[in-house]
């Protein structure tokens, strides 16, 4: 929503301050419920507009988060990448590092222990990542993959973060695996890095973003090929 629309909603909120207190239960209604109340005369057109606007904002915010882990998803990831690239161009950042993290042998876990255990492992890994890195910089990229952005982290420092997270996950008892065919949960990590002076190599910001992700993905593939449970540079 644009600034004008948000200001209009704020104005409506001011006008209906007392109504909000009396009708706070409406915050959990769906759009069809609001229209039904409007048709029955239980809501005025302005009240209905306000609650529909609130619902739209809530849905927009909800769309930015992964339902299973509560982490930000791909859409805000690319928005955040674009933001940090602008900061690189403006000289507010000197570099940007990206970690791509993948749970080792996840298909084996899913197939052997069931999808509920697989989901539990994903949630537990997400909790560890959020605990040790700023939550707004941790994203669920898809499936068993996560991405962490590290603005102004030189490559050496980013590698230390990646290794620290890898060790933390390896040493933690993520879940109690009673099945002897499964060892502790581990992750592989691919690290990529972009310096401010290299931005000129990319005619468009999207190309820089694609390159950063592609290099991290290649590094992750290398980590998998080398035996998993390790950190590699792209």
Catalytic residues: 144
Distance between CA 122 and CA 30 in Å, rounded? 30
Q: Are strands 187-195 and 231-233 parallel, antiparallel or unpaired?
A: parallel
d(CA 144, CA 122): 7
Return the bridge partners of 231, or none: 189
Residues 6+ positions from 147 with CB-CB distance below 8 Å: 77, 98, 99, 100, 101, 138, 139, 141, 213, 216
**DSSP states of 163-229 as a string?**
HHHHHHHHHS--S---STT-----EEEEEEEEEGGGGGG-SSHHHHHHHHHHHHHHHHHHHHHTTSS
Q: In what order do the strands lie in the sheet with 231-233?
A: 138-142, 145-151, 95-103, 187-195, 231-233
Residue 51 CA: distances (Å) to CA of 27, 28, 29, 37, 171: 7, 10, 9, 11, 48
Relative to beta strand 95-103, strand 187-195 is: antiparallel
């Amino acid at each position: 929503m644009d600034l004008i629309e948000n200001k209009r909603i704020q104005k409506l909120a001011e006008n209906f301050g007392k109504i909000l207190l009396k009708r706070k239960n409406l915050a959990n209604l769906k759009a069809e419920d609001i229209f039904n109340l409007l048709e029955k005369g239980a809501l005025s057109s302005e009240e209905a507009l306000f609650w529909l606007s609130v619902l739209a904002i809530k849905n927009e915010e909800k769309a930015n988060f992964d339902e299973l882990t509560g982490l930000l998803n791909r859409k805000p990831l690319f928005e955040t990448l674009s933001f940090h690239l602008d900061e690189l161009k403006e000289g507010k950042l000197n570099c940007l590092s990206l970690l791509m993290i993948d749970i080792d042998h996840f298909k084996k876990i899913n197939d052997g222990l069931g999808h509920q255990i697989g989901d539990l492992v994903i949630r537990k890994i997400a909790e560890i990542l959020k605990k040790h890195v700023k939550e707004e910089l941790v994203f669920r990229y898809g499936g068993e993959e996560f991405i962490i952005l590290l603005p102004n982290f030189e490559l050496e420092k980013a590698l230390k973060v990646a290794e620290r997270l890898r060790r933390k996950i390896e040493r933690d008892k993520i879940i109690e695996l009673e099945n002897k065919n499964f060892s502790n949960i581990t992750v592989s990590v691919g690290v990529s890095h972009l310096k401010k002076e290299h931005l000129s190599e990319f005619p468009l910001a999207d190309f820089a973003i694609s390159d950063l992700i592609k290099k991290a993905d290649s590094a992750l593939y290398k980590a998998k090929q080398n035996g998993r449970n390790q950190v590699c540079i792209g």
